[in-house]
Structure 1
Amino acid sequence: MASLTPSQASLKWTHSPEEVLELTKEAIAKDRKIQDRIAALSPADCSFDSVLVVLADAEAHIDAIVEPLSFYQNVSASKELRDASNSAEVLVRDYGVESSMRLDVFQAKLAAEENIRKSGKKLSPEEQRLVDKMILDGKRAGLALPEKEREELTKLKKEMSQAQLEFSKNFNEENSTISFTLEELEGVPADVISGYTKRSEGDKELYVVTMKTPDIIPLFKNAINPDTRRRAYGAYDKRLEVNEPILTRILDLRRKIVALLGYPTWADYATEVKMAKNAQTVIDFLADLEQKLRPVGAQNRAVLLALKEEEHKTRGLPFDGEFFYWDYMYYERVLIERTLKLDEQKVKEHFPVSVVVPAIMEIYQNLLGVRFVEIKGETWHPDVQQFAVWEDGGKDESGFIGYCYLDLFPREGKYSHAAVWPLLQGYTSADGKRSYPLAAMVANLAKPTPTTPALMPHKDVVTFFHEMGHVFHGLLSRTRFSRFHGTSVARDFVEAPSQMLENWCYEPVVLERMSSHYETKKPLPREMIDSLGKSRYVNVGLFYLRQLFFGKYDIKVHTDKEPTDYTTLWNEMREAITGIKYGPRAAGQASFGHIASGYDAGYYGYLYSLVFAADMYATIFKQDPLDPKLGAKYREAILRPGGSRDELESLEEFLGRPPNSEAFIRELFGESASANL
């Protein structure tokens, strides 16, 4: 296996800032020439092959060049390279707007569609889907509008694209901190504190806490002093207020764009190409879920508030009868430790990064019949691991599947959460040559401290397992056209496969396999495993009410016809929906990254897709989550088709019936709940 040579070279990662811009401009110029050639065809010469296939291949070629170059802004240690990458993406997005507004190219597509219909040419289902999607693209771009409106639309789209990039850049460059004395950090684990930078202020020694997850979350969960948590949350809530006017501008531009396009609201426009199909379906789904969750959330809050009252009394602290968000993670931990005897710090000791990452990869490889082979080569940072991925048991180069990169640790200027970028899509070009996919997973796992190796809280184990699900969706899809490859599915389905795979992180057989105490090398004890399984549903009402708030805020701002004070709306809605207080008014929506980066009017999708995830797991995998036969079925029915067919069709093939919400309701509210559907 190790001696096999991949059928496709990996990517270059040593570009200069100048090269990034130069290569981007060249790719755009080349693509524009192809579009000019299409536009120059006579209607009689417009066919499936001469128009739609050429455009599909051109899209794949330009994406293969510009996507990796745009990726630098999320991961490069060089600010100059990040800035150049951001500027390159501005060029790409502006060209995307210009390209989408070419009436001459759209007319060639329409002529091709008409000629296909007249000729009676038999297209495959994926080819027909390409025709349908390309025609819909033109209608959604406003190409049926008069010239004056089209020009205005182009201008508005470019403005919005620039604003979204600015929002994202601020997100990646965010570097605010807050400092505390050692006394104020009482309760925060020593290994976390040892990772904080120190500074002096007069005769005081202060510990500097960043807003990055490995720094701030352990403080929220463990700092005994409620004022420390309050101050930390205040800083966290305000960390991206620079984005507040940018988001307001984005929402204003979206209203103007849909007014020109003739859609009732941006949410109706955004959901047209999703499983939900329209805004009202989403509104009804969220309202129904809120009604089910409210009593559960109120019950959760009452339990946590009683814990707060008890602790304040014990410590001689004043008790105001209120429950704040900076109380939530702290008392949830207390509750779990007390009722389930589950100490997160003790659990974390069983999950060294050096053990968990290869163990999770091995689980996926065995389940899905593939092998990862680490290779040396260019990457964007020394921390990055690069793998060639092969069919398990493949005897020659034909078993090559693609490449995977893992960039797992935080650093300055790097994307601060966990996500997967499908940098190259798989597809088959018109000449029959196969192009192979490449996926990059970016995470921010805790680094080693002076006293311990790098350890993962169980929550990070779940996140890693989830994101690897996206990696495999990108690697194991096999479509003719790149636009349907892998995770290029409806946005309200894209999370379902990875959400389903999170279940593995609570299965005893899996937890035993991927845990090993960093000192004793023993796996998680069975009582800890049982407690972890139960902890999954602790405060499930409050957890999902918070998710529901994000979804409802997102839909609200994208269905309102007039602008409003979005900060006031944010603060009022989150308290009303979650039942938790958040303290001083802050522009928290400015850190709601999804709303400006592709999940606009789409955050509901995280909850919507959970219905499908729960159904897939309960129906197929629950019986034996490590069975390669079930993995092969999943690979064939869900991963392989990507977006080349309707998502419901993939689900029905996998489940043997249409999906339903029974497993989801049962999971959230108990066995008796599905009887009340």
Structure 2
Amino acid sequence: MQSCKFPRLVSTSKEARQASLDAEKMLDEHKSKCSMREDVYLVIKTFCDKKFMVQPEEQRFIDRLVKDYERKGLRLRPEMRGEAERLNARIGELCNVFQNNINEDESSLSFTVGELTGMHSDFIKSLNTGEDGKLKVTLKPIHYFPIMEYCKVRATRSAVAAARYRRCMKENTPLLEKVLDLRHKLARLLGYKNWAEYSLELCMAKKPEKVQEFQEKMVEHITPAALRELKLLQDLKEEEEGNSVVGLEDILYYIQKAERRMINLDINDLSQYFPVDTVTSGILKIYEHLLGLKLQESRSRHVWHEDVREYEVFDSEKKACLGIIYLDLFSREGKYNHACVVPLQPGCDLDDSCRQVPVAALLMNFTKSATNIETLLKHSELVSYFHEFGHMMHHVCSQASFARFSGLQVESDFREAPSHMLENWCYEKESLKMMSCHCKDPQKEITDGLCNLLKAKRKSFPALRALRNHLFLGTLDLILHTEEKIDTELLIKRLYPEVVLGMPMLDGTNLAASTLHLMSGGCDAACYAYLWSEVFAADMFETKFKGNIMNNIVGMEFRNKVLVPGATKDAVQILKDFLGRDPSVDAYLRINGLNQFDDL
């Protein structure tokens, strides 16, 4: 099924992307019909009720199947099931349109060189020139974030930020608000108070009240530190512009300036140490060593684009093939413009005692060098690459018997935790040296001093980043999926300053209209999960790996206790098995210099 949906994410052909979208609609319709098969449900329910002696994973699978059918409406009276099926189908259809609108968006702005003052010369060279002689800036991450961090012209930053937050606003705002309404109707039909209660039932948090409590406590404990961080930015802006009012369009720019002043680290110069091939080779070596794997590049070339590289993944001791992975690293027209891992085939046991190996593709959007010089990555791109590679290893290392529990199908509020933990390897000297060399002198390794500065940079402005990147979106998401009849634009205009220290949202924008996580299956009502996962990631790293990052005995314990189970166990049990105790929030708070509070 996934192979039919995949072309809409990677194909350069608009016709192929549309055909893929059409196929996805048909598959979703078929899946919806299968999920309403009363005859199948009754057979499984009868089997479950008879309490046969089965293996724990088999019992979990049976219980989950029953729950899946009942969450689709099979417990309802026959006359109500049709309504549940119609609502499910309509929600899926509108979500697909919403996501496709974002994927196909090619919005851009044009600027003179003067309006891009402060941007690195390589960035300027990478931009296309329009018929008017101006430089074309898209709203994709590869253009948006550099401009927000480095452009000295506030009007340019403001225009780019406003345009990005207006993306797909006209077509997607009504789609989003319609889906929210349909989700609430479906939740009530199924016996839940709201969509958040329905969505969180299968998560670690279980209930909206738990999520709200977590987020409110985090806001309470993060806000004092965030206010101190904001004061640093206000002082810096007052010094540079004579005006201390920091707006949304100023945050990343003045964080970058403050970091350069405090840490004296030039991110653009740092890129010289991260040629993409060296980074890739280092990532492979680290994961091989840590998890007891061997990744061997395939020469079959059964790939969808010439840039794609295929690898077979083997267990280094048993020599068995564990799976196949694809690296699709460079941006191109029509390609999905965010970093992600796409599971193309789940790992599972087959009827004939053979095993179906998992297959996954990693999609990045690095800017391919326009010259003969190898593509150089920013450190933030290296972190994203390493993080997503961790998701692939989770998918490939899983040894679930049933496809239903393969790899990344863990609870949505645990899915990011392993990869968040693995990001630590992007800040430690030993692993950084494995992933780097100077582009002009391969024998010249990154210095200990630069490694120390990177670690210091990671710890700068953590509270402000948490408020903006996680707690605002998590709070917005929870409100959207617990309350009804919401004007999303007005809600964001009110909520953003409430959460982010009084900072106003840009007028005439609606960032919800281009936020995929609000509409993606498994992410709806679960945007809190990013910060939630960071808490568990910090606990795992400090407890097991701190000062011990290349210990492959601990690495194998991580593989066997966290990655191998997939979704065959509850995530909280997986954490207990690895940590040897209940998980704690202390490590996250300690790392970020925040006050302690009672555990989750």
Distance of 1:418 and 1:369 partners within structure 2:
26
Q: Which residue of 2 aligns with 1:237?
A: 165
Return the offset for 1:296: 1.2
Distance of 1:247 and 1:190 partners within structure 2:
39
8 Å CA contact 1:571–1:585 kept in 2: the answer is: no
Aligned length in residues = 593
Q: Which residue of 2 aligns with 1:375?
A: 298
State the TM-score, normalized to the length of structure 2.
0.97
8 Å CA contact 1:255–1:265 kept in 2: the answer is: yes
Return the offset for 1:215: 1.7
Q: Which residue of 1 aligns with 2:134?
A: 206
Distance of 2:202 and 2:378 partners within structure 1:
37
Query: Once the two structures are aligned, what percentage of the paired residues are identical?
Result: 35
Distance of 2:329 and 2:59 partners within structure 1:
40
Gaps of 5+ in 1: 1-65, 314-318
2:117 is aligned with 1:194? no
Letter of the 1:146 counterpart: R
Pairing of 1:56-75 with structure 2 (within 5 A): 66-75=1-10
Return the offset for 1:357: 1.3
Return the offset for 1:675: 8.0
Return the offset for 1:520: 2.9
Q: Which residue of 2 aligns with 1:354?
A: 277
What is the aligned counterpart of 1:532 among 450, 454, 459? 454
Return the offset for 1:582: 3.2
Pairing of 1:8-27 with structure 2 (within 5 A): none
Pairing of 1:216-231 with structure 2 (within 5 A): 216-231=144-159
Q: What root-mean-square deviation, in Å, do the aligned CA atoms of Structure 1 and Structure 2 show?
A: 1.4
SS in 1 for 2:325: strand
Letter of the 1:283 counterpart: Q
Pairing of 1:401-412 with structure 2 (within 5 A): 401-412=322-333
SS in 1 for 2:134: strand
Distance of 1:305 and 1:361 partners within structure 2:
42
Pairing of 1:648-659 with structure 2 (within 5 A): 648-659=572-583
Distance of 1:362 and 1:179 partners within structure 2:
42
State the TM-score, normalized to the length of structure 1.
0.86
What is the aligned counterpart of 1:98 among 29, 33, 37? 33
Letter of the 1:112 counterpart: F
8 Å CA contact 1:191–1:452 kept in 2: the answer is: no
Q: Which residue of 1 aligns with 2:406?
A: 485
Return the offset for 1:453: 2.9
Return the offset for 1:363: 0.7
Q: Which residue of 1 aligns with 2:541?
A: 617
8 Å CA contact 1:214–1:446 kept in 2: the answer is: yes
Return the offset for 1:676: 8.3
What is the aligned counterpart of 1:84 among 15, 19, 25? 19
Distance of 2:435 and 2:148 partners within structure 1:
27
Distance of 1:620 and 1:446 partners within structure 2:
36
Return the offset for 1:114: 2.7
Return the offset for 1:240: 2.0
Measured against aligned partners, the alpha-carbon deviations of 1:442-485 in whole angstroms (never above 9, x if no partner) come to 01112213485311111111111100110000111101101101
Q: Which residue of 2 aligns with 1:297?
A: 226
2:361 is aligned with 1:433? no
Distance of 2:389 and 2:20 partners within structure 1:
25
Q: Which residue of 1 aligns with 2:476?
A: 553
Q: Which residue of 2 aligns with 1:270?
A: 199
Measured against aligned partners, the alpha-carbon deviations of 1:461-516 in whole angstroms (never above 9, x if no partner) come to 11111001100001111011011011110000010000000111111111122111
Distance of 1:452 and 1:401 partners within structure 2:
35
Letter of the 1:539 counterpart: F
2:498 is aligned with 1:576? yes
Distance of 1:342 and 1:451 partners within structure 2:
27
Pairing of 1:251-650 with structure 2 (within 5 A): 251-313=180-242, 319=243, 321-376=244-299, 377-394=301-318, 399-450=320-371, 452-521=373-442, 522-546=444-468, 547-560=470-483, 562-579=484-501, 580-598=503-521, 599-650=523-574
Return the offset for 1:390: 1.2
Return the offset for 1:430: 2.7
Gaps of 5+ in 2: none
Q: 1:251 to 1:212 in 2, by over 3 A?
A: same
Measured against aligned partners, the alpha-carbon deviations of 1:545-596 in whole angstroms (never above 9, x if no partner) come to 0110000000001000x21211110122122211233322302110111011
8 Å CA contact 1:428–1:480 kept in 2: the answer is: yes
Letter of the 1:350 counterpart: Y
Distance of 1:209 and 1:445 partners within structure 2:
16
Letter of the 1:536 counterpart: R
Measured against aligned partners, the alpha-carbon deviations of 1:325-346 in whole angstroms (never above 9, x if no partner) come to 2111111111111110011111
8 Å CA contact 1:515–1:523 kept in 2: the answer is: yes
Distance of 2:598 and 2:206 partners within structure 1:
26
Distance of 1:451 and 1:388 partners within structure 2:
29
Measured against aligned partners, the alpha-carbon deviations of 1:410-456 in whole angstroms (never above 9, x if no partner) come to 11111101000111111112331211000100011122134853111
Pairing of 1:28-177 with structure 2 (within 5 A): 66-115=1-50, 117=51, 121-177=52-108
Measured against aligned partners, the alpha-carbon deviations of 1:267-297 in whole angstroms (never above 9, x if no partner) come to 0000000111111100111111011111111
Letter of the 1:267 counterpart: A
Return the offset for 1:600: 0.2
8 Å CA contact 2:561–2:578 kept in 1: the answer is: yes
Measured against aligned partners, the alpha-carbon deviations of 1:197-256 in whole angstroms (never above 9, x if no partner) come to 01232xxx2100111222221111111111111111111111221211111111011011
8 Å CA contact 1:568–1:585 kept in 2: the answer is: no
8 Å CA contact 1:355–1:515 kept in 2: the answer is: yes
Distance of 1:302 and 1:342 partners within structure 2:
21
8 Å CA contact 2:29–2:89 kept in 1: the answer is: yes
Distance of 1:304 and 1:146 partners within structure 2:
59
8 Å CA contact 2:72–2:85 kept in 1: the answer is: no
Measured against aligned partners, the alpha-carbon deviations of 1:59-104 in whole angstroms (never above 9, x if no partner) come to xxxxxxx111111111111111111111111111112221111222
